[in-house]
Amino acid sequence: MFNVMSGNWLRVTALLGALTALSGCGFLFGDDGVFRDRSEDYRHAPELPPLAVPEGKSADKLREIYVIPEIQEKVVPAGEFEVPRPAPLIGGDASELVRIQKLGDDSWALIDLAPGQVWPQVRGFLSAAGMQVASVDARAGLIDTTWLTLEGRPLPSRFRFRMEQGVQRGSSELHVLQMNRSAQSDEWPTESDDAEQEQEMLRAVAQFLADSADSTPVSMIAEQGLSADGRISLQEAADGSTYIRLQLSFERAWASLARALEKSSFEITDRDRSQGLYYARFLGSQEEDEDGWFDWLWGDDEHPLTGETLLVQMKSLDEGVVAISLRPESQETGMDRRQEQDLLTLIKGNIN
């Protein structure tokens, strides 16, 4: 019995020794081994041409599965390299996850979730409310209902739910359009025929989204069609200065900038709408007991521009696109490039 066990042990030892020797030669773990490192294989993957579609066939539905997004932030931080500080989070508690915004006659729901998460929740709202869907275009973010007969309303109505990418990354905007049935036209109007019905529907879907935010599945089609990168970024001008590029109408950007300045510890002392100018005094850190965003961004020292009045300038770059820059009101006040970038990053994180 002892001799048999000794013989088996000798054979196992010899086998382990042989495997160890082979692994040292690269049989198991070397570049040509069985268990070689494949983490860099993607570097050698060939780039294939796009799929050719036969003549007469549409290629609209052919899209990249894993799209590499373009880099939005094209600003190189001034001074010595440091790990970039993230913009302050705009998300609040669960009660602030969904908010109804209003500017003039326009209203919409702002949701702090990516479009791919909001899309199935809107579909769930329609199903729970018993509203039948007439057409769906996930890539365009559109859902149209069939004609509905509402209690107390003389004419049937239908609704269009339009989802857009929010200003900030990972946020969404939901718009509702209402139309009365008539014999004149079936084309959707530019504005709702009944503003009261539109507001009631917007409040109902917003409440549903707020109540069901804990369970949010993801629609990959809507996620691909509606970019989740946001509509705001830091850019560098030709003269080396930094500005915020914001894809909003001038009217909405003007109102959003005012709220963002107040959230960023600026006190607005004056404004000139015709020139697109805010006169804003920077108050600096308002944190007393706990370390907050300002302490992390600038350390224990007070920011050099605390107490100074800055001119926050907003100009139109193109239709639906504005640029936001800042400069000291007094020419005697110095502001280096790093300080400019820090304050713009702070403001950028609070624009919605």
Q: What is the pLDDT of residue 94?
A: 43
E-strand ranges in the chain read 98-103, 106-111, 133-137, 142-145, 157-165, 172-180, 232-236, 242-246, 266-272, 277-282, 309-318, 321-328
**Hey, what are 9's tokens?**
């042990």
pLDDT at 141 over 80: yes
Q: Highest mean pLDDT: which of 29-38, 80-89, 151-160, 211-220?
A: 151-160
Residue 296 banded pLDDT, cuts 50, 70, 90: very low
Q: What is the pLDDT of residue 153?
A: 82
pLDDT digits (tens, 9 = 90+) for 168-196: 888 899 999 999 988 677 889 999 999 99
Q: What is the pLDDT of residue 68?
A: 60
Average pLDDT over residues 253-271: 93
- Picking from 334, 317, 235, 330, the residue whose alpha carbon sits closest to that of residue 276 is 317
b/e per residue 162-174 (b: at least 16 CB within 10 A): bbbbbbbbbbbbb
DSSP 96: G
Helix (H) or strand (E) holding 220: helix 220-225
Residue 2 banded pLDDT, cuts 50, 70, 90: very low
Question: Is CATH 3.30.310.170 the classification given to domain 232-348?
Answer: yes
Average pLDDT over residues 211-227: 60
Q: Domain spans of the chain?
A: 94-225, 232-348
Measured between alpha carbons, how far is 279 from 272 in angstroms, rounded to an integer? 8
b/e per residue 98-109 (b: at least 16 CB within 10 A): beeeeeeeebbb
Kindly report which listed range (22-31, 137-146, 259-268) carries the lowest average pLDDT score. 22-31
In which order are the strands placed within the sheet that holds 321-328?
Answer: 232-236, 242-246, 321-328, 309-318, 277-282, 266-272
Average pLDDT over residues 208-212: 85
26 torsion bin: left (phi>0), alpha (psi -120 to 50), beta (else): left
Compute the C-alpha angle 163/164/170, nearest 5°: 110
94-225 and 232-348 have identical folds: yes
pLDDT at 268 over 90: yes
Q: What is the pLDDT of residue 334?
A: 77
pLDDT at 244 over 90: yes
- The superfamily (CATH) of domain 94-225 is Outer membrane protein assembly factor BamC (3.30.310.170)
Instruction: Calculate the average pLDDT of the chain.
Output: 78
Q: Assess contact for 268 and 258: CB atoms under 8 A.
A: yes
Q: What is the pLDDT of residue 227?
A: 59
- Picking from 328, 260, 318, 348, the residue whose alpha carbon sits closest to that of residue 75 is 348
pLDDT digits (tens, 9 = 90+) for 68-89: 656 556 565 655 555 555 554 4
Residue type, 326: L
